[in-house]
């Protein structure tokens, strides 16, 4: 089939309105059903709920004491205490019990004196009518409407329904969404073999797992169908089977783009109508919206992109609003918060964009650090704290420009996070895990911009602390000179995190016999493909220092300009065959089963402004770093020394 092109893309809003209008013409309704209260949690009411009984259904005591006729006590005072005969004028009663006939008030037990062995009670205060009484119907009156249609039943609504005697509420039927994974290269998650994954022969199918959770969370039922290959006939048959099985919405994942093996749009055109192919949003552009016909009815259809982040944006923009619309409730809105990007966020004009970010609240300003934007970067979904939407007519956001962001975490979680910016190290993720476990409410958010970038962020007040391992080539001492130069007006303490081995990460067995820095200058058939760290990183500084000692020009090294931002990404480049060698830490090589040729030990330190020294989050961080459990875990990673972990090794002065 011919490749498609996106000639007339709609904005997400335009695409939704066009799709929803076509669905409305079919007259589709979810209908309703009765469910027992035990199964009603998170269901959506389809009609107004009237109380079947009053609550309370009688006049009841709101306090422990005696029930009385208020008018009989009006003469009571501190000067003339009133004696009431028990079981004739006063009746002992417990909270919640019905008042005896003729009583209209309760005197608290604390306001009574008991005389003559309990035959009489004495009060010095007159009671007023309905004192300490829950009157019949005080909460709700029979026939009163207590809940409106479109309300999602939560724990509190369950209580209201129970009190009203509504034991089988009427709710909307759950919309049934058929999810059809497609692709000749994908296999079910439980069938994916490690050797096939590593060789790139197959891909694990897990998008349907994410979609199912999103659909259930939105009140729908996910019907995940078998994987279908990249074949128009198979795709069409799978869609028709889903319609015949009663699906309210059919979703095909992958195959919606413009490639030669993307058949979804053509199949939908043959089975019904393509309304939209291509939406002006990044990620999520290759979305197909339409209607398909089968079993005598027209059913809405969505074709979502195959890459996870793109697919999820497609579900958020179209599927979730449709499920809310069918259940006649408002789509859930994320809380918004003003954030300030640390770096520029360029955007492509003509396309709306959704940028996922990590957040850190530093002295009243919430700073945003962008996560990788790739449509396939699943980790950006789980790591993100918020999403920054960028409008279609905007070319991006400047660094330092405050913009609204949609929160994916609670404000409390964001306020409890420490933001560390600077050099990457695998121990930072370990610290975050231990901090969350041992000090609930606190966490560590890391942004990897290199050692120098971390110090510059500290200087701009954009983080709480920085991770650095910058070598002073003149003295061989780490970090102090860089701190004096970059943070001369900011008093800080330098805390040792770890000593760590730096070296060359190479493939198992070191087949190219890499021994040291001089090997990077090999030429011809023996030349090595190198993978470098970004400018400003401590590893890059170490590399340039060693090359300078050998008199080697960076221009002679293939791959010198090919950069990665983390040690793990350097190791992954070597593992994949993209590079023959890269400079990094032993733990990254060990984690991926690669060989490691050590070249030295460096000092990786945390730079913490003294104004944060008493911050509870910083104290919790230091507790973790100084703990024996942290040191044991780090030692097990390999390539680290922890004898001085958590030690304040130096303090600077402004």
Which tens digits make up the pLDDT trace of 399-424? 888 999 999 999 999 999 999 999 88
Instruction: Supply the pLDDT for residue 199.
Output: 65
5 within domain boundaries: no
Percent helix, strand and coil across the chain, each to the nearest 5: 30, 30, 40
CB atoms within 10 A of CB 45: 25
Region 450-472 average pLDDT: 92
Question: What DSSP letter does each residue of 389-453 carry, written as one string?
Answer: EE-TT--EE-TT--EEEEESS-HHHHHTEEEEEES--THHHHHHHHHHHHSTT-EEEEEE--HHH
Residue bearing tokens 């964001």: 414
Please compute Rg for the chain using Cα positions.
Answer: 34
Q: What is the CATH number of the domain that holds 386?
A: 2.40.340.10
Residue bearing tokens 């996870």: 308
420 within domain boundaries: no
The residue among 578 and 256 whose pLDDT is bigger is 578
CB atoms within 10 A of CB 248: 23
Q: What is the CATH number of the domain that holds 166?
A: 3.90.105.10
| Position 474 confidence tier, pLDDT thresholds 50, 70, 90 | confident
Instruction: Supply the pLDDT for residue 107.
Output: 96
3 within domain boundaries: no
Give how many domains the chain has, as a whole number: 5
Q: Are residues 596 and 644 in the same domain?
A: yes
The C-alpha torsion from 429 through 435 and 440 to 446, rounded to 10°, is -40
Q: What is the CATH number of the domain that holds 208?
A: 3.40.980.10
Region 441-450 average pLDDT: 89
| Position 101 confidence tier, pLDDT thresholds 50, 70, 90 | very high
pTM: 0.79
Question: Rounded CA gap, 358 and 606, in Å?
Answer: 20
Question: Rounded CA gap, 126 and 228, in Å?
Answer: 81
Which tens digits make up the pLDDT trace of 239-274? 999 999 999 999 999 865 555 456 888 999 999 999
Q: Are residues 164 and 178 in the same domain?
A: no
Q: Residue 317 corresponds to which tokens in the numbers above?
A: 């923009």
DSSP state of 552: -
Q: Are residues 77 and 190 in the same domain?
A: no
For the ranges 426-430, 492-496, 549-553, the maximum mean pLDDT occurs at 492-496
Instruction: Supply the pLDDT for residue 374.
Output: 65
243 within domain boundaries: yes
Q: Are residues 249 and 154 in the same domain?
A: no
457 within domain boundaries: yes
The residue among 2 and 584 whose pLDDT is bigger is 584
Q: Are 126 and 74 in contact (CB under 8 A)?
A: yes
Instruction: Supply the pLDDT for residue 3.
Output: 47
Whether 122 has a pLDDT exceeding 80, the answer reads yes
Q: Are residues 89 and 168 in the same domain?
A: no
Q: Are residues 505 and 592 in the same domain?
A: yes
Q: Are residues 24 and 37 in the same domain?
A: no
Q: Are residues 505 and 552 in the same domain?
A: yes
SS3 assignment, position 626: helix
331 within domain boundaries: no
Angle between helix axes 628-637 and 427-438 (nearest 10 degrees) is: 150
DSSP state of 280: S
Smallest Cα–Cα separation from 155: which of 37, 36, 57, 331?
37
DSSP state of 318: I
240 within domain boundaries: yes
Percentage of the chain lying above the pLDDT 90 cut: 72
Q: CA of 156: how far to CAs of 8, 35, 48, 96, 221, in Å?
A: 47, 17, 16, 20, 24
Q: Are 530 and 582 in contact (CB under 8 A)?
A: yes
Question: Rounded CA gap, 386 and 161, in Å?
Answer: 36
SS3 assignment, position 448: strand
Instruction: Supply the pLDDT for residue 49.
Output: 95
Which tens digits make up the pLDDT trace of 321-351? 999 999 988 878 889 999 999 888 888 788 8
Q: Are 403 and 332 in contact (CB under 8 A)?
A: no
Cis peptide, bond prior to residue 283, ω within 30 of zero = yes
4 within domain boundaries: no
Question: Rounded CA gap, 323 and 97, in Å?
Answer: 45
Which tens digits make up the pLDDT trace of 159-198? 999 999 999 999 999 999 999 999 888 888 887 777 767 7
The residue among 607 and 526 whose pLDDT is bigger is 607
Smallest Cα–Cα separation from 292: which of 235, 225, 221, 243?
243
| Chosen domain end from 326, 352, 374 | 326
For the ranges 80-94, 249-263, 448-462, the maximum mean pLDDT occurs at 80-94
Q: Are residues 566 and 445 in the same domain?
A: yes
With b for 16 or more beta-carbon neighbours within 10 A and e for fewer, the 183-219 pattern comes to beebbeeeeeeeeeeeeeebebbebbebbbebbeebb
Question: Rounded CA gap, 250 and 596, in Å?
Answer: 50
Q: Are residues 115 and 181 in the same domain?
A: no
Whether 537 has a pLDDT exceeding 90, the answer reads no
The residue among 525 and 103 whose pLDDT is bigger is 103
Whether 2 has a pLDDT exceeding 60, the answer reads no
With b for 16 or more beta-carbon neighbours within 10 A and e for fewer, the 284-307 pattern comes to bbbbbbbbbebeeebbbbbbbbbb
Question: Rounded CA gap, 478 and 464, in Å?
Answer: 20
Region 57-79 average pLDDT: 94
Question: Rounded CA gap, 212 and 223, in Å?
Answer: 8
- If you average pLDDT over every residue of the chain, what do you get? 91
Smallest Cα–Cα separation from 466: which of 481, 445, 485?
445
Q: Are 517 and 599 in contact (CB under 8 A)?
A: yes
Instruction: Supply the pLDDT for residue 1.
Output: 43
Q: Are residues 179 and 168 in the same domain?
A: no
Q: What is the CATH number of the domain that holds 454?
A: 3.40.190.290
Q: Are residues 558 and 476 in the same domain?
A: yes
| Position 446 confidence tier, pLDDT thresholds 50, 70, 90 | confident
SS3 assignment, position 144: coil
Residue 478 belongs to what domain range?
A: 427-651
Q: What is the CATH number of the domain that holds 74?
A: 2.170.190.11
Smallest Cα–Cα separation from 520: which of 535, 509, 531, 536?
531
Instruction: Supply the pLDDT for residue 255.
Output: 67
Region 122-129 average pLDDT: 95
Question: Rounded CA gap, 564 and 539, in Å?
Answer: 11
């Amino acid at each position: 089939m011919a490749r498609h092109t996106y000639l007339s893309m709609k904005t997400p809003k335009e695409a939704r309105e066009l799709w929803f209008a076509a669905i409305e013409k079919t007259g589709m309704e979810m209908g309703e059903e009765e469910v027992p209260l035990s199964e009603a949690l998170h269901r959506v009411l389809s009609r107004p709920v009237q109380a079947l009984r009053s609550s309370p259904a009688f006049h009841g005591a709101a306090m422990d004491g005696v029930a009385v006729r208020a008018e009989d006590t009006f003469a009571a005072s501190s000067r003339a205490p009133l004696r009431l005969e028990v079981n004739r004028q006063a009746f002992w009663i417990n909270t919640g019990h019905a008042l005896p006939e003729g009583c209209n008030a309760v005197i608290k037990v604390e306001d009574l004196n008991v005389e003559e062995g309990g035959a009489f009670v004495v009060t010095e205060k007159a009671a007023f009518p309905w004192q300490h009484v829950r009157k019949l119907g005080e909460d709700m009156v029979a026939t009163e409407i207590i809940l409106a249609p479109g309300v999602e039943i939560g724990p509190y609504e369950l209580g209201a329904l129970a009190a009203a005697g509504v034991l089988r509420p009427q709710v909307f039927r759950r919309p049934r969404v058929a999810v059809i994974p497609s692709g000749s290269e994908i296999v079910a998650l439980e069938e994916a073999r490690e050797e096939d994954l590593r060789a790139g022969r197959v891909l694990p199918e897990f998008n349907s797992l994410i979609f199912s959770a999103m659909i259930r969370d939105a009140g729908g039922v996910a019907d995940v169908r078998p994987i279908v290959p990249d074949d128009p006939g198979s795709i069409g048959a799978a869609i028709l089977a889903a319609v015949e099985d009663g699906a309210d919405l059919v979703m095909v994942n992958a195959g919606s783009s413009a490639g030669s093996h993307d058949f979804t749009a053509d199949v939908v055109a043959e089975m019904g109508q393509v309304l939209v192919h291509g939406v002006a949003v990044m990620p999520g552009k290759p979305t197909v919206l339409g209607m398909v016909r089968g079993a005598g009815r027209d059913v809405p259809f969505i074709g979502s992109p195959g890459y996870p982040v793109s697919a999820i944006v497609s579900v958020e923009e179209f599927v979730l609003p449709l499920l809310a619309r069918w259940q006649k409730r408002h789509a859930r809105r994320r809380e918004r918060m003003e954030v300030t990007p640390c770096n520029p966020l360029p955007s492509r004009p003509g396309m709306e964009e959704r940028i996922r970010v990590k957040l850190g609240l530093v002295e009243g300003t919430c700073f945003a650090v962008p996560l990788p934007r790739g449509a396939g970067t699943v980790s950006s979904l789980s790591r993100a704290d918020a999403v920054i939407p960028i409008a279609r007519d905007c070319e991006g956001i400047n660094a330092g420009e405050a913009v609204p962001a949609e929160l994916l975490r609670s404000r409390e979680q964001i306020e409890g996070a420490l933001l560390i910016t600077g050099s990457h190290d695998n121990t930072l993720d370990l610290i975050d895990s231990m901090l969350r476990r041992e000090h609930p409410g606190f966490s560590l958010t890391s942004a990897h911009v290199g050692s120098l970038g971390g110090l510059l962020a500290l200087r701009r007040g954009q983080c709480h602390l920085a991770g650095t391992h910058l070598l002073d080539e003149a003295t061989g001492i780490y970090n102090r000179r860089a701190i004096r130069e970059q943070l001369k007006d900011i008093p800080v303490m330098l805390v040792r995190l770890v000593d760590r081995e730096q070296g060359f990460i190479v493939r198992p067995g070191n087949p190219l016999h890499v021994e040291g820095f001089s090997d990077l200058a090999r030429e011809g058939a023996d030349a090595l493909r190198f993978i470098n760290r970004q400018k400003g990183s401590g590893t890059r500084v170490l590399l340039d220092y060693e090359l300078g000692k050998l008199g080697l020009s960076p221009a002679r090294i293939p791959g010198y300009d090919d950069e990665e931002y983390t040690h793990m990404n350097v190791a992954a480049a070597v593992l994949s065959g993209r590079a023959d060698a890269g400079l990094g830490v032993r733990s990254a090589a060990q984690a991926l089963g690669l060989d490691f040729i050590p070249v030295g030990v460096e000092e990786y330190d945390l730079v913490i402004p003294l104004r944060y020294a008493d911050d509870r989050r910083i104290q919790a961080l230091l507790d973790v770093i100084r703990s024996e459990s942290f040191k044991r875990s780090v030692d097990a990673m390999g390539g680290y020394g922890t004898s001085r972990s958590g030690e304040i090794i130096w303090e600077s002065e402004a």
